[in-house]
Copies of this chain bind each other. A is one copy, B any other.
Amino acid sequence: MAAHAPEGDPPRAATRTDVARAAGVSTAVVSYVVNNGPRAVAPATRARVLAAMEELDYRPNALARALRMRSAQAVGLIVPDVSNLYFGALARELSNRAFDQGYAVLLGDADNDVDRERAQVDSLVGRQIDGLLIVSLGDELPASAENVPTVFLDQRDRPGRRSVVADDLDGAAQAVSHLIGHGRRRIALVNGPAGSPEAVQRERGWRETLDAAGLPHDESLIVRTEFSRAGGLDAALRLLSQDERPDAVFVASDVQALGVLAAARRLRLKVPDDLAVISFDGTEEAAFSDPPLTTVEVPIDRIAETALRAVLSPEPADAPTFVPVRLVIRETCGCPEPTGG
């Protein structure tokens, strides 16, 4: 047994010095065996050290190591709202991949507030993160982020900065083309809020595709609203109570689409017969709505993988990396039902 702990003294965790003393070696040697280098250690010595570590229940202090190494082996992740399904999925993928590579992730929830986001950046940078992954609400990061490798995961235009984003423009084009292919002529857009950069690209894809087909795309066909179920509901109610009712709608997110479906039910409109719907994101909710949503699927895993690689490697990149998206056909677009149910 180890010596009895003298009562009343604060139990301090064992340090490398304690291990060295217990094993009868220098602290350098302990370091060598802990890190498997950079110097070789005689097998017998190594065994003694290992035994001492075990005995003292030694655990390296990552903070001290970080200070010395000038690297915390940690990345920061800042999103507007982790409880959002999309950002949550992103956080999950990123967290798991980072962990597998020995990195911790410091999570910052900006609470949809630019000032708060900036404060989070300052805080994380002060904690010496090796890189920052951010879905930012603003156009500029605070000066503190200057020397931290940063990858943006949002659609804002930031020339010269690295970003990894879904190909929103192409996704919107795919969706609208598909609706046109079903013979729809009056295709509305339920978009995200005016300030949202994702919204800008999705709207552009919608507009350009309609334009190329000679179909209308005037402002009366657009409603911009929050990325929420309630937003989608309101938007659809407004759109569908017009004189010239749309026969299809492209919705900028799955959650909004759930609201759109609720609106259709309320107005006794059959989906897809009276109204075809295609949304964006490809979250699980889309598969379980009534009817199941045809949606543009964003491969979050690939975004996470690409972004993490980018932030951890020094190569600069001038243009954004666009991750391809694909249309997942279910029942709201008007295709014949896949499962002949």
Contact = CB atoms under 8 A, between A and B. Distances in A.
Nearest to A233: B288
A107 B95 contact: yes
A47 to B, nearest CB: 22
A71 to B, nearest CB: 10
A62 B107 contact: no
Identical chains in the assembly = 2
A242 interface: no
A128 B63 contact: yes
A3 interface: no
A60 B11 contact: no
B109 A229 contact: no
A58 to B, nearest CB: 11
Contacts of A105: 106-108
B81 A92 contact: yes
Given A59-B126, A285-B285, A95 B109 contact: yes
Given A63-B128, A99-B109, A228-B284, 16 more contacts: A59-B126, A60-B126, A62-B126, A62-B128, A63-B63, A63-B66, A67-B67, A74-B106, A74-B127, A81-B92, A92-B111, A96-B109, A99-B116, A99-B120, A233-B288, A262-B288
